[in-house]
Amino acid sequence: MSENFETIFEFCLKNDLKSIENFISKGGSINIQDKGNTLLHISSQNGFIDIVKFLINHQADLSIRNNGQTVIDIAKKFNQKEILKELLNKTLSNNLKK
């Protein structure tokens, strides 16, 4: 598993959506963490909008914190406006369903 664990984060850093889709379709955890970062943290920081959309559409947990920061905090910090818009829309949608 550690090889798959390391590889999925490498795929994320390379903006490789197909490999992430494959990982999730085979039962990989959408909220897998490495040093507190999830795939959503990494893709939000790097502006990988297609990965962000895929992850939030497949119920990635937006509330997971790394060093106190949510993915929304990270998108703000790295000035990822398009990502921030997607995350805020998902948060609003989730809140309206409650």
What pLDDT does 94 receive?
67
User: What are the tens digits of pLDDT across the range 63-80?
Assistant: 999 999 999 999 999 999
The whole-number pLDDT of residue 57 equals 94
Of 25, 26, 23, 20, the C-alpha closest to 43 is 20
* Residues contacting residue 90 through CB under 8 Å, at least 6 positions apart: 56, 62
pTM: 0.90
pLDDT bin (cut points 50, 70, 90) of residue 95 is low
Q: Residue 6: which CATH number?
A: 1.25.40.20
Query: What's the total number of domains in the chain?
Result: 1
- Provide mean pLDDT across the span 33-52: 96
Tell me which residue range forms the domain holding 88: 2-97
Q: How confident is the model at residue 1 (pLDDT cuts 50, 70, 90)?
A: very low
